[in-house]
Amino acid sequence: MGYVRLVDVTKEFGEVTAVNKLNLELEEGECFSMLGPSGCGKTTTLRMVAGFEDLDDGEIYVGGKLMSSKAKGYYLPPEKRNFGMVFQAFAIWPHMSVYENVAFPLHLKRISAQEIEKRTKEALVHTNLWSDAKKSPVDLSGGGKQRVALARALAINPGVLLLDEPLSSLDPHLREEMRFEIKDLQKAYGFTVIYVTHDQAEAMALSDRILVMKLGVVQQIDTPLKVYNEPANRFVFSFIGLSNFINARISESGIRIGESEGMNFKYMPDASLQGKSDLVLASRPSEIDFVSQGGVPGLVKRKAFLGEIVDYAIEVNGVEVRAQKGRRELGPNPGEYCRLDFLHPHWYAQE
């Protein structure tokens, strides 16, 4: 049985169902991300786990202990759940020093001064803030302020650490640096992490498993590699990473795209699409090759150098297709015709 369990958890705001009968189990020590577009229900779910939102139905358990249950009329307040929480906004107190910010929640728990000092110093050391302990957090960079928020959450020795878009206000370089620091802290402390984000790179880098949501409904729960390589449906494919979608149709000679001849691909539509004549070919830009013969014809509209990769925009059957190749690979130039080989296409029925 999982350490964190959500059973048929539902939350409604008027006529809108933000989370619809969510069932979820997290293992102790797991780093779990909830990913999806704005309004999909991921932050609402996190707030229900934290206790900031009550449930309209279902139950939440942590470590075998009931946190919330609408049917049983039970609700444990947030301050009694022993969770650490880090928000998108840093939520630090500018009139307190870094040390005082981290120690403050421990004073509220009325633990001994010796224990407060021990935990505060340990949290500051682990977040590389000990040398800044006497400073005002106002004098720190954005990354430093977020470390203060992390240290404050760590100091209470949380059973579960909840993070709600904690890096979205940082610049790209700091985001990359902080995501690995969070992962290192999770390994060092061994707590369970529930991480809410719309940033796919963050979710991929941090997570043992990822949940992808759409309009309050789970689309897929799996490891980052499987979510990327084996998306459960077209929405997951479109949301994770860059994607191309091209209309195709099945003919007697094979699959036709635009005016191309019928072709057979290495990965053909599976049995679930038998009987469908109109399909969609889905492909990652990195899984497209330029070939001299065969393949799908296209016209190069744009070619952009992006450092280690060259990004191509190619018109195929009236649709712009993105292809990305290594900077050392020769490829066609804008205005030239080309032929494309789709190395690992996914197939979906046309909507």
Q: Which two tokens stand for residue 178?
A: 């902080």
- CATH of residue 309's domain is 2.40.50.140
Model confidence over 268-311: pLDDT tens digits?
A: 777 777 767 788 999 999 999 999 988 888 999 999 999 899 99
Q: How far apart are the first and last CA of the chain?
A: 39
Q: What are phi and psi of 98, to 5 degrees?
A: -55, -45
Of 203, 237, 271, the one marking the end of a domain is 237
Alpha carbon distance 154, 102 (integer Å): 9
Model confidence over 94-111: pLDDT tens digits?
A: 899 999 999 998 888 888
Q: Are residues 170 and 21 in the same domain?
A: yes
Decide if 99 contacts 133 (C-beta within 8 A): yes
pLDDT of residue 169 exceeding 80, the answer is: no
What type of residue is 180? F
Q: What are phi and psi of 154, to 5 degrees?
A: -70, -35
Q: Are residues 92 and 205 in the same domain?
A: yes
Model confidence over 175-221: pLDDT tens digits?
A: 788 788 888 888 888 889 999 988 888 888 889 999 999 999 999 99
pLDDT of residue 262 exceeding 70, the answer is: no
Decide if 321 contacts 257 (C-beta within 8 A): no
pLDDT of residue 351 exceeding 90, the answer is: no
SS3 of 126-139: HCCCHHHCCCCHHH
What type of residue is 170? L
Q: Which of 69-83, 264-278, 283-297, 319-333 has the lowest mean pLDDT?
A: 264-278
Q: Are residues 209 and 314 in the same domain?
A: no
Number of Cβ within 10 Å of residue 269's Cβ equals 19
The overall longest dimension of the chain from CA atoms, in Å, is: 80
Q: Which of 155-159, 181-185, 256-260, 319-323 has the lowest mean pLDDT?
A: 256-260
What dihedral do alpha carbons 206, 211, 216, 219 form, nearest 10°? 140
pLDDT of residue 253 exceeding 80, the answer is: no
Q: Whole-number mean pLDDT of the chain?
A: 89
Residue 227 confidence (pLDDT):
94
Q: Are residues 9 and 111 in the same domain?
A: yes
Alpha carbon distance 57, 73 (integer Å): 10
Q: Are residues 151 and 186 in the same domain?
A: yes
Q: Are residues 98 and 44 in the same domain?
A: yes
Alpha carbon distance 234, 347 (integer Å): 9
- Measured at the CA of 286, the angle between CA 283 and CA 288, to 5 degrees, comes to 60
Residue 260 confidence (pLDDT):
65
Question: Which strands sit side by side in the sheet containing 192-197, from one edge to the other?
Answer: 83-86, 160-164, 192-197, 31-35, 209-214, 217-222
Residue 53: pLDDT band with limits 50, 70, 90:
very high
pLDDT of residue 346 exceeding 80, the answer is: yes
Q: Which two tokens stand for residue 299?
A: 């016209």
Mean pLDDT of 41-50: 94
User: 254: exposed, middle or buried (C-beta count within 10 Å: 0-12, 13-18, 19+)?
Assistant: middle
Specify the higher pLDDT residue, 74 or 277: 74
Mean pLDDT of 222-241: 93
Of 188, 214, 237, the one marking the end of a domain is 237
Q: Are residues 221 and 248 in the same domain?
A: no
Q: Are residues 15 and 117 in the same domain?
A: yes
Q: What are phi and psi of 142, to 5 degrees?
A: -60, -40
- What is the DSSP secondary structure assignment for residue 112, as one 8-state letter? -
What type of residue is 314? I
Of 213, 237, 261, the one marking the end of a domain is 237
Residue 231 confidence (pLDDT):
94
Residue 74 confidence (pLDDT):
95
- CATH of residue 233's domain is 3.40.50.300
3-state secondary structure of 160: strand
When divided into structural domains, the chain yields a total of 2
Residues, the chain: 351
Q: Are residues 278 and 188 in the same domain?
A: no
Q: Are residues 223 and 250 in the same domain?
A: no
Residue 109 confidence (pLDDT):
83
Alpha carbon distance 341, 110 (integer Å): 66
Domain hosting 143: range is 4-237
Residue 320 confidence (pLDDT):
92
3-state secondary structure of 26: strand
Q: Are residues 9 and 119 in the same domain?
A: yes
- What is the DSSP secondary structure assignment for residue 40, as one 8-state letter? S
Mean pLDDT of 327-333: 89
pLDDT of residue 316 exceeding 80, the answer is: yes
Residue 276 confidence (pLDDT):
73
Alpha carbon distance 181, 162 (integer Å): 15
Q: Are residues 16 and 114 in the same domain?
A: yes
Mean pLDDT of 43-58: 94
